[in-house]
Amino acid sequence: MIKKIFGIATLPSKAEGAPWRAASTSLFTFLFFYFFIFFSSLFTLHSSLLFAVEPFYIAELPNIHEYDLFANGGWNGNWYVGYDHCWIVKLPPALPKKNYKRAFLGVKIGRAKTEKQIRSILGTSIDDKKKKLELATEDEKGKILAEIQSLGKKEEKVGEITFYISVSQDSDFSDDKKYAAARGSEIPIEGDSSEALNYISEGAWFWTEVPMDIISDSVGKNNFVAVWSDNPLLTSAEFAPVIAAGWSDTNENAYLTTNNQGAPPKELEKQISYFTPAICMKLVPEPDGKITVSVKNAKIEKDVLRVSAEVSGEMRRVGWRLFKEDNEGIPTGYGVTAPPYCLTVRNLKPGRYRFYIEATDYFERRAQTEEKTFVVE
């Protein structure tokens, strides 16, 4: 007699007089379910690669939260990023690139200095040089005058700080396009033991979208990513912000170039040991839906503006841009990274202003409000 077990036709069991047939049937059933589960798991894995649902990070360290040195506080290791401090990391090919829709280059920076702090330091240095000039010999005066002139030119660049990021397959970035990674005014401020300051926080990640086709996904072709500034003011940690770092596991993929003088670097100058800079690539899928942001409430009290935003989606960052009537930008810091999404700016001078809010989620989708105007009496 033939009967069915789990929908599979089987021959009579041992009790029915066919022990060898029962054993072979049990083995067949076992192998069937084993291979069914095995191939199902392969299909699930294959599907997850074909249809990515989360951003994919490519960095020297396996966890980007390990980049918690230097840019948050304490000893800075002289790891400033600027005109003569270009940081480069060699990253592997982005092998799963075909499963994603967009590519981003990222850098974690912190400990920026305010315009007031920079101007104060420059002013003190110029005054000191002028005092030396009064006592200098004729041979010394030429050198001191040149130093005063150089400091004056640096002071002109205080409000024009931008950091750039680029990727190359051969470590020569001179022919590769550079992309604006961060403005000086949005980088978290370094604390000051003698002054109360707003917008102080740990170092923050800044992500810049780049064309997918400039990211290498070929075996044997690495991605070199560089970060620097073209502002000649940024030649020391006294003026420049600091790039974050983590403990290096390899001591062979991080470099510092000091001879680029604000230009895209052409070579790997110095290999770094023990630490590695917080430079990363991120591949992002195309998620369903969209994000939105709107101004929920805005209130002015004397010289203080407080604005709250309403968003849809899980935001990585909510910030804003604020301008005076003459288009002069007002520093507003990095923004907020968790609800409630409330933003504040203080010490506004009388005049007319305009602002808008920007929201960014973890897939780097961006939304922006319409511009709003207000007046401070």
Banded model confidence at residue 44, pLDDT cuts 50, 70, 90? very low
Which uninterrupted H or E stretch holds 39?
A: helix 19-50
Banded model confidence at residue 155, pLDDT cuts 50, 70, 90? confident
Domain end residue (candidates: 231, 258, 284): 284
pLDDT tens for 163-199 read 999 999 988 998 889 999 999 999 999 988 888 888 8
Give the integer Cα–Cα distance in Å for 38 and 31.
10
Mean pLDDT, residues 231-258 taken together: 94
Which uninterrupted H or E stretch holds 303?
A: none
Structural domain harbouring 197: 56-117+156-284
Report if residue 144 sits inside a domain: no
CATH code: domain of residue 273: 2.60.120
8 Å CB contact between 101 and 286: yes
Banded model confidence at residue 43, pLDDT cuts 50, 70, 90? very low
Mean pLDDT, residues 285-291 taken together: 90
Report if residue 149 sits inside a domain: no
So what's the pLDDT on residue 175?
85
- Is there a single domain that holds both residue 253 and residue 210? yes
- Is there a single domain that holds both residue 173 and residue 223? yes
Residue labelled with tokens 């036709």? 9
Length of the chain: 377
Total domain count, the chain: 3
Q: Is the pLDDT of residue 28 over 90?
A: no
The closest alpha carbon to 207, from 10, 360, 12, 18, belongs to: 360
So what's the pLDDT on residue 313?
85
Banded model confidence at residue 2, pLDDT cuts 50, 70, 90? very low
Q: Is the pLDDT of residue 15 over 60?
A: no
- Is there a single domain that holds both residue 266 and residue 322? no
- Is there a single domain that holds both residue 172 and residue 67? yes
- Is there a single domain that holds both residue 87 and residue 30? no
Banded model confidence at residue 45, pLDDT cuts 50, 70, 90? very low
Question: Average per-residue pLDDT in the chain?
Answer: 87
Strand, coil or helix: what is 322? strand
Give the integer Cα–Cα distance in Å for 12 and 2.
6
DSSP classification of residue 6: T
Beta bridge partners of 224: 90, 168
In what side-by-side order are the strands of the sheet with 179-183?
179-183, 162-168, 223-229, 86-91, 254-257, 270-271
- Is there a single domain that holds both residue 181 and residue 32? no
Banded model confidence at residue 12, pLDDT cuts 50, 70, 90? very low
So what's the pLDDT on residue 13?
44
- Is there a single domain that holds both residue 296 and residue 260? no
Gap between the terminal Cα atoms of the chain: 98
Banded model confidence at residue 3, pLDDT cuts 50, 70, 90? very low
Report if residue 137 sits inside a domain: no
CATH code: domain of residue 314: 2.60.40.10
Strand, coil or helix: what is 29? helix
Domain end residue (candidates: 248, 266, 284): 284
- Is there a single domain that holds both residue 219 and residue 70? yes
Which uninterrupted H or E stretch holds 337?
A: none
- Is there a single domain that holds both residue 279 and residue 299? no
